[in-house]
Structure 1
Amino acid sequence: MSDATIPPGWAAVRLGEVAEFVMGQAPPGDTCNRSQNGTVFVKAGEFGSLHPLIREWTTKPLKMARSGDVLVCVVGATAGKLNLAVDAAIGRSVAAIRPTSALDTKFLYYTLLPRVQELRRGSAGSAQGVISQADLGAITLLLPPIAEQYRIVCEVEELRAKAGIARTALAKTPELLDRLRQSVLASAFRGDLTAGWRANNPDVEPAAKLLSEIRHQRRAKWDAGVQEGTNKRRTYPEPRAFSSAEMPDLPVGWEWTTVEHLSTKVTDGVHSKPVYVDAGVPFITVKNLTAGPGLSFENTKYISEDDHREFTRRTAPEKGDILVSKDGTLGVVRRIESDCPFSIFVSVALIKPVSDLIGEYLAQALTSPQVQAGMKATGTGLQHIHLVDLRATPIPLPPEKEIPVLLARLKDRLELTALRKAQQGATEGMYALEQAILAKAFRGELVPQDPDDEPASVLLERIRAEREAQGERKGGRRKRATAASGQG
């Protein structure tokens, strides 16, 4: 770095010139405890967001850090991570950087903070990186006068506090978007989104007419299955009667019905764990429903073609069908959007809607708060939704001509992708802003320089002189000790 780029009164130094280092050493294992017996013991695993977590002690500390040091992880995947120290013994994965009077502790911490990745990349070793004492000592930094260091720390902490408030607010955005989604869904399936449309179209055929047509479609598909040999039972299973007497009121023309009335089949996947193979047909479990916004085929296990054929004799997922998680994480709904063949586990239910329109509507209705509340779960530990209860789940049904209008308006109001991307971009922007603040601070551009501050070079010369004098005193003591032992 040229002198032209160094602010007035600052000096370019190596960390070893203005700090000492204590490299950690693990105490004997039988001296470590979690019963608060002895001295606090800190390893890399105890590093917190700013200070180490205190959860282990030792009765035989070997290497000590003290308050005012900066701790750095020097081994492993977290090499380069920083914490402000407390009085504690430190393990071999930790080093303590002990500033001299030329260097403020927090200034050092904030100086090194943007350089964690640099420290990590520069670490050497085997599979895990190692930062040596020599590596730490060779770190270069720009050193302001000590008074200016204090001013920089105050300004950095004030700006970081403001950024933290903004970051906390941004972190709440996904939850707010989810609440907005639930509010929109609740509004849609109690008829609010299409209230104006109904007022302008009072003469449409009611949902009762649609339910009558669905009953005929359902029976026709059953009869076709019997003729094709795909239905083993020859007696048509009538959907269970449903009473809406205790259900909330719906708009005029709407009807309460159930999942069973709107589908030709409600079943689940194979009830025993299959034999997995390296390559074959994807085998879907609840985790594939919860891994993202749609049905995920990432990190999927596979079964053989023969097992898939056997499993799909009972449960054959197809494009347009609906999957619902029924064990553990309950009520996650995914509509099958592709023709990719797969089988499902018992933890996943399969709903075959009577038509594409009903399938699209049912997939959305099943995610609404009022329908989710009607899904009956049982079990004290791991909860389940039994198929009989899933079939009986109440569904509000509008007239046939109202369904496409409702779905279109619902799609418009649930288009939250842009908002989620904006939130993600703002969060990344906050991180970049904090890095920019630190970079500006350590270029001497964050606070004004004061010509009355003692230059860093003067303080450095004084520290060098003190170190030389200290070295001479130590050398004199060693000579006297040697002479005394010779006389003895």
Structure 2
Amino acid sequence: MRSLDLRLSDLRYTGMTAEEVSAADGVAGPGDLLFTRYNGNPDYVGVCARVPDSAPVLTYPDKLIRAQFPETLVDTRYVAYSWAWQETARQLRTHLKTTAGQTGISGTSLKSIAIPLAPLGEQHRIADALDERLARLEKIETHLVSTQQRLEQLRGMVMAAAAIGVLAWDADPQHMPIDGSPSVNDGTLPPLATGWRWARLHEVAEVVGGVTKDSKNQHDPALTEVPYLRVANAQRARLELSQVAKIRVASMTLEKLRLRDGDLLMTEGGDRDKLGRGWIWEGQIEDCIHQNHLFRARIQKRATRPKLLGWYVNSTARAWFEGNGKQSVNLASISISKVKLLPVPVPPADEQEQADFVELGERVLARLDRLATACEKGLTHTATLRRTLLTEAFTGRLVPQDPEDESAEDLLKKIRAEREAAETERKAARRAAAQTKRKSRAEPHAPAPSDAPPASDIPLPEGEQATLPMEFTA
């Protein structure tokens, strides 16, 4: 569940019948609101979603809180939208508590959140307007996200085509052989452009591991403190350098592992589909080295261009890394001995021809990057529009007001009266249940009045239910 988004595509079953769930007051019906009670991500705690009008009979887990409202007093669409407003979110953040890695909020705290209350007629008009306008924004966002995904796929295809020399229209790809190795499974290698050949990575580059962090040496002033790259810094076809850690190493280690322009960094472990990801070092930080969970490939004798190798590793070679990696309980890894056997495409020796391949790939990828940037700006703009719409709605400026509407003050009085009546009814029901229970204990052999299980034997769902759980402000 996310803010304003109750996903019903993956429903589970409780083993209880609809009648049993209803008898236990555990049904979340159309129009009810559900609030996230706890989550590992604080951004998802306290968020609200409305059960759609077309939803089936639902129950809910203990991580959710249900709220029900009489439709004659409150439009639950209005309340759900008000909960997505940034001013409401600001209030929520002050009530969050974190324990054992989980962030939570209590039902009592939810009840204390104040939202602006409009007359019922205006609630309907605001909800109708937001339904229409936010649906349009969501449609635009869906198209933008879909375009981003397609652009990412195109990036992979362009990198793969450039890396094997077939990006140019006049390329004539051919299947080229490579000497097999019993240590790895090469699978089916793609065809190469005319003049290209296959080689093992160790034939064209020096491949080494990085430094292992020894916490005992990190306070030794005789050692040199230098920046070093970790797995988190090596992303797919890019380096993330906003946060670079430091480590103390001996001078000899610094000389051995100091990164140079053109070095390709590849990950040794992590999720299986992320093995081998990484990118080229371009001298961004002086005296930088890398940890042991990153491999460094330094091209020898100008056998190929770093970008051609980097594009290949981050596109076509992904399947090779996945197929030759080793899976442990939680993480996958690949050994340096196998990485040295990675089949890599080698272009013709002519340096100008190599430069032409790189320039063509860079031009096409730059165009895709501009389109991706435009999509990102579009998503930023739609997010701003959503915040603006909600602010306009809950400061009384989105729809016209009608002097014929019942005042918010009168509506508040009705809500308070309804709540008091509901509380009186609940207390009476509890007293009746307690009397029935005492009578049952006094007459242990009395037959049950029907085949249905007594209410006290029906397992109540864990969680909190509330019939008007919030204080409202006019």
Please give the range of the TM-score, normalised by the shorter of the 2 chains. 0.5 to 0.7
Which residue pairs with 2:280 in the alignment? 335
Structure 1 length normalisation: TM-score?
0.59
Residue among 358, 367, 390 paired with 2:313: 367
- Map 1:188-337 → 2, pairs under 5 A: 188-194=162-168, 250-263=192-205, 265-269=206-210, 274-275=214-215, 280-290=225-235, 293-294=238-239, 296=241, 298=243, 300=245, 302=247, 304-306=248-250, 309-310=252-253, 313=256, 317-328=259-270, 329-337=274-282
Say which SS state the counterpart of residue 358 (structure 1) adopts. coil
Say which SS state the counterpart of residue 238 (structure 2) adopts. coil
Could you give the per-residue CA deviations for residues 313-334 of structure 1, whole angstroms, max 9, x where no partner exists? Answer: 5x55433322222444322132
- For the 8 Å contact 2:304–2:347, the answer to whether it is kept is no
State the distance in 2 between where 1:373 and 1:134 align: 50
- Map 1:411-450 → 2, pairs under 5 A: 411-415=362-366, 416-442=368-394
Residue among 411, 429, 435 paired with 1:460: 411
Q: 1:268 to 1:134 in 2, by over 3 A?
A: closer
State the distance in 1 between where 2:287 and 2:74 align: 65
Which residue pairs with 1:227 in the alignment? none
Which residue pairs with 1:7 in the alignment? none
Whether 1:101 and 2:72 are equivalent positions in the alignment is yes
Could you give the per-residue CA deviations for residues 363-406 of structure 1, whole angstroms, max 9, x where no partner exists? Answer: 34533644555668435523425435534513131332211122
State the distance in 2 between where 1:65 and 1:251 align: 63
Could you give the per-residue CA deviations for residues 290-324 of structure 1, whole angstroms, max 9, x where no partner exists? Answer: 3882153725362x322x634865x5543332222
Residue 140 of structure 1 deviates from its aligned partner by 5.6
Say which SS state the counterpart of residue 154 (structure 1) adopts. helix
Which residue pairs with 2:453 in the alignment? none
State the distance in 2 between where 1:247 and 1:347 align: 27
Which protein shows a greater Rg? 1
Identity %: 20
Say which SS state the counterpart of residue 333 (structure 1) adopts. coil
Counterpart of 1:407, as a letter, is V
Whether 1:117 and 2:89 are equivalent positions in the alignment is yes
State the distance in 1 between where 2:419 and 2:158 align: 73
Could you give the per-residue CA deviations for residues 40-75 of structure 1, whole angstroms, max 9, x where no partner exists? Answer: xxxxxx877545999899x9x999997555455789
State the distance in 2 between where 1:136 and 1:468 align: 13
Say which SS state the counterpart of residue 88 (structure 2) adopts. helix
State the distance in 1 between where 2:194 and 2:130 align: 62
Could you give the per-residue CA deviations for residues 69-120 of structure 1, whole angstroms, max 9, x where no partner exists? Answer: 5455789956653344799799899685756833222222223321323323
State the distance in 2 between where 1:323 and 1:464 align: 63
- For the 8 Å contact 2:280–2:310, the answer to whether it is kept is no
State the distance in 2 between where 1:379 and 1:149 align: 57
Counterpart of 2:414, as a letter, is I
State the distance in 2 between where 1:370 and 1:468 align: 63
Structure 2 length normalisation: TM-score?
0.60
Q: 1:251 to 1:293 in 2, by over 3 A?
A: closer
Bigger RCO (CA 8 Å, 6+ sep) = 2
Residue 126 of structure 1 deviates from its aligned partner by 11
State the distance in 2 between where 1:465 and 1:185 align: 64
Q: 1:361 to 1:258 in 2, by over 3 A?
A: farther
- For the 8 Å contact 1:75–1:94, the answer to whether it is kept is no
- For the 8 Å contact 1:378–1:385, the answer to whether it is kept is no
Could you give the per-residue CA deviations for residues 412-446 of structure 1, whole angstroms, max 9, x where no partner exists? Answer: 11114433332222112222222333344445665
Say which SS state the counterpart of residue 215 (structure 2) adopts. coil
Q: 1:441 to 1:389 in 2, by over 3 A?
A: closer
